[in-house]
């Protein structure tokens, strides 16, 4: 159990201020600071309509990057012009989607794409309870940033893989084209691929999953479809493929058995009325209503601790087990999948036993431990950039590096106006303004989550359940006659401290994830674990209050 001390003073008052500066600071010493390029002012619709210039002539002047990318692309070399994809009506210009732009010249590729799940991601996202539950900024920066590949009714965006306006086949074939959206705790395909032997060969994502098609679904049925089998046989012996796939399927089924046991435990707790808060007493699930939801539309926020443990088994660990096994990263399958799943089930069993004993007011509680998974300790600034929409761009050209946005002087944060000018080098004024609003909104969202935790700390110290010791760390402020019960209470207090600290980590990931345009860090490494941290914090507070009421007596030392 990690017993990191949580200092109530200073941390909460400085956390959000510190995060605000992270986005504006550089990190590479000694680099030459580039001079920001100044974009011409945006033209009004009236100026555009009255201009006698062609699209190409105008954009060569006002958006040189877009013009150059298009001119040097296969489209440009073949004489495809702006009007061919965007139309000529500047007042009602539609987005250049698969249906509205690409299909006219690429009917086969468009039909294949529209038959794939990529084209359905937007509708699937909108129907998700987790999406409905989030604030607008998390939806925009965490969900829609990736699911936008399927935006539109029976439509989608080819430029998510074929970077606009170059629309390069070579770029779309690079594994990095898949990185930003196929990573993270809930879909770690890229992490599994990078650690596998395939990454050291010519094998790529598109080579295995998109051979001569834009419909990835043909080759995503756990590698058991005939096209995938034929592809594997090109490099591997059929006997090896069978052994590998049989082993991966066996591991996946072991995980499913653990999930089945976990569901049984939680359903029993629900029937006993031991889930806190009970489904009937909390805000309704946006899709399922006020009922117990496991898997599918299950939320990662405002549920009981038991449900939170199952969610992480189902949504994170089982996915790591399967993705690791089928991508031949067996360390992921074992150490980030099957082994922690078994540990989680043990923790879930212990949680159920404690809830039953507290409900029965058992005289002596069974000793517990708190199983927690270690957080990633890599450089958050570097990791969020490398897997971001910026970081996965091919080297050279218009790819920004750290100095492009932050400069070399790490001691002097850039002003917001200067950042807007730098972003405006590659993005429209509308895009930069929307991003600035979202960045301010995500900091406000983080402050709200921090405030919720701070109020719990104040409540626990105000009631005399916890106190600060001489080092400023929180500790128990009551004693129990039973040493065993005292041990249980101390363990829960340690859990309270651990998740207060973990909340800081989650909020930092969320803010820097948005700052670096990295949707998975903003959502699945940031917002989701932050709200799960609050489940743990609230649960620990509730249990400590319950234990003191049933077993405790106030310590004569009530110093705070």
Output the tens digit of pLDDT for each of the chain's 560 residues. Answer: 333 333 333 333 333 333 343 333 333 333 334 444 445 556 677 777 777 788 888 888 877 878 888 888 899 899 998 888 888 888 888 788 899 899 999 999 999 999 999 999 999 999 999 999 999 999 999 999 999 999 888 899 998 898 888 888 888 889 999 999 999 999 999 999 999 988 888 888 988 888 888 987 766 654 445 666 777 888 889 898 888 888 999 999 999 999 999 999 999 999 999 999 999 999 999 999 999 999 999 999 999 999 999 999 999 999 999 999 989 999 999 999 999 999 999 999 999 999 999 999 999 999 998 777 767 767 888 899 999 999 988 877 678 888 888 887 655 567 767 787 888 878 878 888 999 999 999 999 999 999 999 999 999 999 999 999 999 999 999 999 899 999 999 999 999 999 999 999 999 999 999 999 999 999 999 999 999 999 999 999 999 999 999 998 655 554 44
Tokens representing residue 428 in the block: 């429209």
C-alpha closest to that of 329 among 194, 202, 221, 177? 194
Tokens representing residue 239 in the block: 């006997």
Q: Please check whether residues 420 and 455 belong to one and the same domain.
A: yes
Q: Can you state the angle between helices 55-62 and 64-71, rounded to 10 degrees?
A: 130
SS3 assignment, position 155: coil
Q: Please check whether residues 22 and 78 belong to one and the same domain.
A: no
For residues 294 and 521, the answer to whether their CB atoms sit within 8 Å is no
The Cα diameter of the chain in Å comes to 89
Q: Please check whether residues 445 and 465 belong to one and the same domain.
A: yes
Q: Please check whether residues 15 and 67 belong to one and the same domain.
A: no
Q: Please check whether residues 19 and 55 belong to one and the same domain.
A: no
Q: Please check whether residues 412 and 471 belong to one and the same domain.
A: yes
DSSP code of residue 410: T
C-alpha closest to that of 450 among 5, 21, 7, 11? 11
Q: Please check whether residues 507 and 548 belong to one and the same domain.
A: yes
**How many CB atoms are closer than 10 A to CB 254?**
16
Domains identified in the chain, total number: 2
Is 127 contained in some domain?
no
The owner of tokens 């300790």 is: 377
Tokens representing residue 400 in the block: 């920004």
Global pTM value:
0.88
Is 294 contained in some domain?
no
Is 115 contained in some domain?
no
Is 235 contained in some domain?
no
Range of the domain at 481: 1-29+395-560
Q: Please check whether residues 51 and 24 belong to one and the same domain.
A: no
Pairing verdict, β 552-554 and 466-468:
unpaired
Q: Please check whether residues 446 and 403 belong to one and the same domain.
A: yes
Is 18 contained in some domain?
yes
Q: Can you state the angle between helices 8-22 and 429-462, rounded to 10 degrees?
A: 170
Q: What is the CATH number of the domain that holds 548?
A: 1.20.850
**Phi, psi at 84, each rounded to 5°:** -60, -35
SS3 assignment, position 199: helix
Q: Please check whether residues 475 and 523 belong to one and the same domain.
A: yes
Is 10 contained in some domain?
yes
State pLDDT tens for residues 199-247. 888 888 988 888 888 987 766 654 445 666 777 888 889 898 888 888 9
State pLDDT tens for residues 128-174. 999 999 999 999 999 999 999 998 888 999 988 988 888 888 888 89
Is 351 contained in some domain?
no
C-alpha closest to that of 355 among 337, 368, 372, 340? 368
DSSP code of residue 96: -
Which residues fall within 8 angstroms of residue 320, CB to CB, at 6 or more apart?
185, 188, 192, 332, 333, 336, 337
Is 493 contained in some domain?
yes
Tokens representing residue 292 in the block: 């117990």
For residues 375 and 505, the answer to whether their CB atoms sit within 8 Å is yes
Tokens representing residue 174 in the block: 């690079």
Q: Please check whether residues 536 and 504 belong to one and the same domain.
A: yes
**Phi, psi at 174, each rounded to 5°:** -70, 140
């Amino acid at each position: 159990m990690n017993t990191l001390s949580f200092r109530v003073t200073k941390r909460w008052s400085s956390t959000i201020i510190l995060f605000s500066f992270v986005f504006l600071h550089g990190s590479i010493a000694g680099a030459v600071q580039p001079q920001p390029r100044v974009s011409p002012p945006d033209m009004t619709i009236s100026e555009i309509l009255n201009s006698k210039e062609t699209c190409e002539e105008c954009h060569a002047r006002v958006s040189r990057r877009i013009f150059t990318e298009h001119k040097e692309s296969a489209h440009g070399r073949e004489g495809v012009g702006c009007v061919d994809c965007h139309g000529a009506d500047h007042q009602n210009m539609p987005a250049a989607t698969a249906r509205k732009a690409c299909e006219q010249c690429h009917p086969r590729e468009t039909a294949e794409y529209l038959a794939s799940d990529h084209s359905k991601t937007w509708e699937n996202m909108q129907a998700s309870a987790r999406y409905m539950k989030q604030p607008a900024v998390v939806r925009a920066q965490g969900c829609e940033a990736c699911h936008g590949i399927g935006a539109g009714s029976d439509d989608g965006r080819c430029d998510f893989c074929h970077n606009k306006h170059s629309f390069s086949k070579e770029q779309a074939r690079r594994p990095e084209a898949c990185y930003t959206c196929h990573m993270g705790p809930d879909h770690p395909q890229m992490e599994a691929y990078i650690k596998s032997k395939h990454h050291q060969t010519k094998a790529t994502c598109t080579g295995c999953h998109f051979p001569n098609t834009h419909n990835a679904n043909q080759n995503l049925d756990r590698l058991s479809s005939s096209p995938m089998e034929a592809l594997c046989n090109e490099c591997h012996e059929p006997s090896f493929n069978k052994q590998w796939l049989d082993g991966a399927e066996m591991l996946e089924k072991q995980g499913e058995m653990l999930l089945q046991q976990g569901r049984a435990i939680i359903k029993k707790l629900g029937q006993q009325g031991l889930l806190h808060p009970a489904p009937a007493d909390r805000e309704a699930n946006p899709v399922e209503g006020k009922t117990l939801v496991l898997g599918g539309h299950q939320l990662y926020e405002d549920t009981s601790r038991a449900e939170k443990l199952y969610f992480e088994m189902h949504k994170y660990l089982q996915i790591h087990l399967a993705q690791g096994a089928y991508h031949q990263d067996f360390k992921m399958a074992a150490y980030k999948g099957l082994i922690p799943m078994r540990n989680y089930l043990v923790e879930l069993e212990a949680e159920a036993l404690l809830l039953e004993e507290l409900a029965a007011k058992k005289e002596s509680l069974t000793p517990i431990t708190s199983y927690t998974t270690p957080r990633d300790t890599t450089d958050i600034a570097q990791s969020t950039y490398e897997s971001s929409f910026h970081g996965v761009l091919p080297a050279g050209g218009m790819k920004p590096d750290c100095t492009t946005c932050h400069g070399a002087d790490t001691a002097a944060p850039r002003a917001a106006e200067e950042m807007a000018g730098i972003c405006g080098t590659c993005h429209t004024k509308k895009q930069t303004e929307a991003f600035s609003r979202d960045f301010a909104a995500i900091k406000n969202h983080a402050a709200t989550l921090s405030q919720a935790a701070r109020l719990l700390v104040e409540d626990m110290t105000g009631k005399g359940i916890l106190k600060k010791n001489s080092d400023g760390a929180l500790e128990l402020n009551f004693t129990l006659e039973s040493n065993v019960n005292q041990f249980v209470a101390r363990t829960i207090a340690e859990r309270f401290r651990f998740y207060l600290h973990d909340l800081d980590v989650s909020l930092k990931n969320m803010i820097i994830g948005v700052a670096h345009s990295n949707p998975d860090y903003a959502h699945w490494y940031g917002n989701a674990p932050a709200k799960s941290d609050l489940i743990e914090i609230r649960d620990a507070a509730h249990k400590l209050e319950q234990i003191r009421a049933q077993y405790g007596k106030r310590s004569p030392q009530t110093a705070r």
